[in-house]
Amino acid sequence: MKSKERIEAQAMELKRKKAALKAWKTIRRARREKRARGARKLDEFASHGRIASMAHPELTTMPQVSAHLRQRENRHGIISLFAKTPPDIACGPFWELRWAFGCPLSCAYCYLRGTNKGNMKPRYVKVEHIRRALHTVFNNERFNGGCPAIFNSGELCDSLMNPALMDQISDLFEQQEKHRLLLLSKFGSSNIRFLLAEPRKNTICAWSVNADEVAKRWERQAASPADRIEAAATVKHAGYETWIRIDPIFPVNGWQDQYEDLVYSVFSEFEPDRIILGTPRGLWKTIYYAKKEGVDISWVQYFGKEQTGWGKKLPFDQRKAIYEFMYNKLNLLGYAQHKISICKETTSMWEALGLAYRPSTCKCYNMEDLK
């Protein structure tokens, strides 16, 4: 009898413990829901893959910005310091405005294919989150060491792939006088209406333009080079600071004639405020995901044996000849050398060309280097 009573008592105790555990789980769930009210999940700002690849702010190096400040500005990854430049590359940190990820143009050689692990579909950050991030920066006197900054909105997407959203973002930069927004695009005239409807003084417009043959081969969904040049000329005449990026320059058959025609096509319409040059970079992730997606990778045929911190490159002498050719053509047009920069190129190339550079500084998007 005592044994039966003991068993029944143990069963009652077990039942009581189960009921207590169930009650505790209910209470804990209610508390979590209460704490979560009004909070936002990080995946509202970016994809899971993108979040996983974001560097911790303490790993980012920029001497004039404190670690505490970098952490605040990077808390949602919207304002982010790009500081991954390898030591053999004559470039440095610059600020990204991560308002979107991906690109519908899907150029065959695009590094975004590797960055986004093959997913080129555009994904957008909610405009209220962008507004909050920019408000924090604009009202922080210590940001960027107190110096003006250029925010590149075309590093992880095409800046003009969503004109309605970029219209709102560009407007935000007109609410302050210190920092500037950079738009970088391969879209044409149909995507610039918002820029013409309401001119802005704190927005820089830049177009990536290539030779006709290169565009036909590997930029098939982008606007034609002529349309891009027309769009750039239109905003330039409307009062915008306007840049041209000729990058990547491929040594296709007759490349000298093709890129000479491109330069003259630009200068027949307007004189850019800045010109950025570059040659192909063969990052392994770009090539891997291009192959995986069945993208035309015939462009890799031009790479030599040189392997740099920024991937495969054309043979050194060939790159040098391309840069010398482009500098010479621009010089014949009377274009000032200090307005030309070379993107993601090695320190040895800068030295071979006899060009001055400041180590660990961005040659394209650094406000100090643009003065």
> For the chain, what is the mean pLDDT?
86
pLDDT at 20: 58
DSSP type of residue 223: P
Q: Please compute the mean of the pLDDT values over residues 286-312 and round it to a whole number.
A: 93
Confidence of residue 309 (pLDDT cuts 50, 70, 90): confident
pLDDT over 90 at 45, yes or no: no
pLDDT at 286: 93
61 or 350, which is more confident: 350
Q: Does 6 reside within a domain?
A: no
> DSSP of 65-91, one letter per residue?
S-HHHHHHHTTTSSEEEE----TTBS-
Highest mean pLDDT among 34-43, 57-66, 348-357: 348-357
pLDDT at 65: 40
- The parent domain of residue 314 ranges over 42-370
pLDDT at 23: 62
pTM: 0.80
Count other C-beta atoms under 10 Å from residue 75's C-beta.
14
Q: Does 246 reside within a domain?
A: yes
Q: Does 8 reside within a domain?
A: no
Highest mean pLDDT among 23-27, 116-120, 175-179: 175-179
pLDDT over 70 at 126, yes or no: yes
Q: Please compute the mean of the pLDDT values over residues 234-254 and round it to a whole number.
A: 98
pLDDT over 50 at 48, yes or no: no
Give pLDDT tens digits for 9-22: 766 766 765 665 56
Cis upstream peptide for 248 (omega within 30°): yes
pLDDT over 60 at 25, yes or no: no
Q: Please compute the mean of the pLDDT values over residues 24-43 and round it to a whole number.
A: 55
Confidence of residue 359 (pLDDT cuts 50, 70, 90): confident
Q: Show Cβ contacts of residue 364 under 8 Å, excluding neighbours closer than 6 positions.
A: 91, 94, 274, 276, 341, 343
Domains held by the chain: number:
1
Strands (DSSP E) along 186-232, which ranges?
203-208
Side-chain-side CA neighbours of 299 within 13 Å: the count stands at 29
Q: Show Cβ contacts of residue 13 under 8 Å, excluding neighbours closer than 6 positions.
A: none
pLDDT at 7: 63
Give pLDDT tens digits for 155-203: 999 999 999 999 999 999 999 999 999 999 999 999 999 999 999 999 9
pLDDT over 90 at 360, yes or no: no
Q: Please compute the mean of the pLDDT values over residues 213-228 and round it to a whole number.
A: 98
Q: Does 18 reside within a domain?
A: no
Q: Identify the residue whose tokens are 């043979």.
A: 315
pLDDT at 42: 44
Q: Does 259 reside within a domain?
A: yes
Give pLDDT tens digits for 282-294: 999 999 999 999 9
Question: By C-alpha distance, which of 199, 188, 251 is closest to 225?
Answer: 188
β-strands 203-208, 180-185: how paired?
A: parallel
Q: Does 91 reside within a domain?
A: yes
Q: Which range, of 100-109, 210-219, 265-274, 354-363, averages the lowest pLDDT?
A: 354-363
Confidence of residue 367 (pLDDT cuts 50, 70, 90): confident
Q: Does 363 reside within a domain?
A: yes
Q: Does 323 reside within a domain?
A: yes
β-strands 150-152, 123-124: how paired?
A: unpaired
Q: What is the CATH number of the domain that holds 91?
A: 3.80.30.30
